[in-house]
Structure 1
């Protein structure tokens, strides 16, 4: 017999958790409110701290096929495209950090992770509306009238997490003052950009990041610009190509080529939340955006969810199957992860500061920025678990019956 674990949410974090738990022999079931598995979005970054864990789950060959290992990041002036700085990446970073830095389409990674979890372990159309802990586990109730029981409940249900509200109470989103316009273009439509490299154009009131995905066949672009609060707290809201055109009027020819090639544009209002003081009760915990939604300026949102998922799977795989063992495992997971993710979360806020008007041309400027995240990229969460002392965790109060639907 093994622990029965219920994962709420089949996004990147939830599926990584399910894959890591299943690989360690735990009895895992995933419940997704959507009617089908679907990951919207564009490209994303996988730092070495994330890729080393995904490779250990067996995704190395698929990542090699569909992701890109950028050879360098070029910082260019917004007005004429002149290169002002360059950070070597590629083989140099793979050697330094013991795993590659990759860029990949979110949908590709989502499908890879889904392939690691048996189809009969993933249940769609199951919106959690209520759960309650008792001496024997957790009772889950869904909007369709069905119920389920588990020994452990994991809330991986994103920034609007229902499980988060039940565990930590209501909190308010914190607006960064910026929004991001983003989308995809074919690499053939921007021939002056090398599909083995990443680019940043730093302007006085906006900055554009562009990087390859789909094995170099397409580029993701992200234009971050000040924006009045009022947009929905969503990363998939429809944008307007006219807004992109207006924000980037007069920019370098390479940027204008991106605008001309842009099809569907998405607007992402950049919110995060204040770090939580606790993530867990006796049998329930959080991971990913449900625990620590963060701004994208370190490119670490998905990576931190992957780290959470693997760390939690390791802790639960080692747990005894009694109530005390489960609580101790969740406390150990939270004690390891919460200080780390809080530091990343707050550092991502600092990364929102505007760039100099002609790009960061200071000597070593881009290299210094890269050094700021070295500690993140170098982190190996499994090694950290091995190094951390395994102490008895304090008991947590069980969650009371929690109504999650309005």
Structure 2
């Protein structure tokens, strides 16, 4: 085992996948999670080839095949009549092109697979970080109601409300995007009459869009219904929503959209906030990862994948410069920040592209999609899916 001890704050998908990459590179890794049980908020997650490449190489191919769903295609459709705007094959054609599969999964299933691959004594629950102090060669961690700890490198993988980021750079000021999202899960048997393929669907319409795909071995349908709204103050994934409000918002939409919403028992409402890219992620021996440093809107389906990439690149950089951890973190930031910032920008741009009202701009968008000149056609997403984050160094 290499000499460095790495402390990871946060036991979500980003933190645990980083821990696995760091363990595979031979580091002594300790994960500190503030909750008393591991758990993921939200339902569906897309694991595209740039992320499945990493997870397969970490030994999770079998578990992903068990809990994930391999969709046939990404199907982008018009809101009212369901006309196809762009249908991108996934499944075997995607795997042949990019070398690794695309999965749709329940977040809790993916988190459980990651946790099961990590020795349990390396995951410390009920540890809420309150402060840290750096010296030239160590970082001391201070926890509420727990003993202090010391590590050589500290990684903040503690999400959009990151304590580590706040301690490093002070409070942030996220901007409400003008969108809210209704989300939830529907038992698949309730949808049998709707003839829904095993695809990831995006219905695009004026001022809103609707996403749905199967998870948990096709037993559940995950849906996210995004609606433009003027004001919102609270950023949470766990606020209850009203199914009647979602149905009203999607009045006149395609029968599949209406049928899914009519089959919903409960929904949660989540406000979408945007954040400008951070100029830096690191100070000395402390750095950030995932949503803690590049939270992005869900309109590229790359949030979890980019966090998984972060962990793989971080492990590679520390392995290359284990005698200079601060220098390794500079390399990590140099390699990851531009790519993550580009993904943030594209995710923001897709809010506009998905929500065009009928007219010249919408017609131009549809024409570009028909030519394969937009997101999720193979040539356009190759820079995302071909990337090997575990081998970023020349």
TM range (shorter): over 0.9
> For 1:379, which of 379, 387, 394 is the aligned residue?
387
CA–CA distance in 2 between the matches of 1:122 and 1:328? 27
1:217 is aligned, of 212, 216, 219, to 219
Question: SS in structure 2 opposite 1:140?
Answer: strand
Q: Give, in whole Å, the separation in 2 of the partners of 1:95 and 1:356.
A: 36
- Structure 1, gaps ≥5 residues long: 388-406
The answer for the alignment partner of 1:344 in structure 2 is 343
Measured in 2, the distance between the counterparts of 1:361 and 1:350 equals 16
What RMSD over aligned residues (CA atoms) do the two structures have, in Å? 1.8
The 3-state SS of whatever aligns with 2:71 is coil
Residue range with higher mean Cα deviation, 149-158 or 259-268: 259-268
CA distance in 2, matches of 1:89, 1:204: 27
What SS is found at the alignment partner of 2:227?
strand
List 4+ stretches of structure 1 deviating above 4 A: 358-361
Deviations 1:116-151 (A, max 9, x none): 111111111110001000133011111114211111
Query: Which TM-score applies when normalising by structure 2?
Result: 0.92
- Secondary structure at the residue paired with 1:291? helix
- Output the CA distance in 2 between the equivalents of 1:364 and 1:348: 17
Retained in 1: the 8 A contact 2:6–2:151?
yes
- Does the 8 Å contact 1:28/1:121 carry over to 2? yes
Deviation at 1:80, TM superposition (A): 3.4
2:127 and 2:146 in contact (8 A); partners too: no
Over 3 Å counting, the alpha-carbon distance change for 1:351 and 1:272 in structure 2 is same
Distance 1:49 1:355 in 2: 29
Unaligned runs of 5+ in 2: none
Counterparts of 1:192-207 in structure 2, within 5 Å, are 192-207=194-209
CA displacement 1:317-368 (0-9 Å, x = unmatched): 23334xxx11111111111101111111111111111145498643644832
Conserved? CA contact 2:85–2:370, under 8 Å: no
TM-score, with length taken from structure 1: 0.90
Partner of 1:402: none
Alignment of 1:63-74 (within 5 A): 63-74=64-75
Is this contact kept in 1: 2:178–2:228, CA < 8 A?
yes
* SS of corresponding position for 1:75: strand
The alignment partner of 1:93 has SS state of: helix
1:280 is displaced (CA, Å) by 0.7
Q: Shift of residue 75 of structure 1?
A: 2.9
> 1:41 aligns to what SS in structure 2?
coil
Q: Distance in 2 between matches of 1:296 and 1:193?
A: 26
Distance in 2, matches of 1:7 and 1:28, equals: 7
Distance across 2 between alignment mates of 1:60 and 1:258: 31
**C-alpha distance in structure 2 between counterparts of 1:266 and 1:212, whole Å:** 18
Aligned to 1:178: 179
1:400 paired residue number = none
Distance in 1 (CA, whole Å) between partners of 2:382 and 2:332 is 23
CA contact (8 A) 1:75 1:366 kept: no
The structure-2 alpha-carbon separation of the partners of 1:169 and 1:114, relative to structure 1 and needing over 3 Å to count, comes to same
1:235 Cα deviation from its structure 2 partner: 2.6
Aligned to 1:398: none
1:219 to partner: Cα distance: 1.2
Aligned length: 383
The answer to whether the 8 A contact 2:235-2:273 is kept is yes
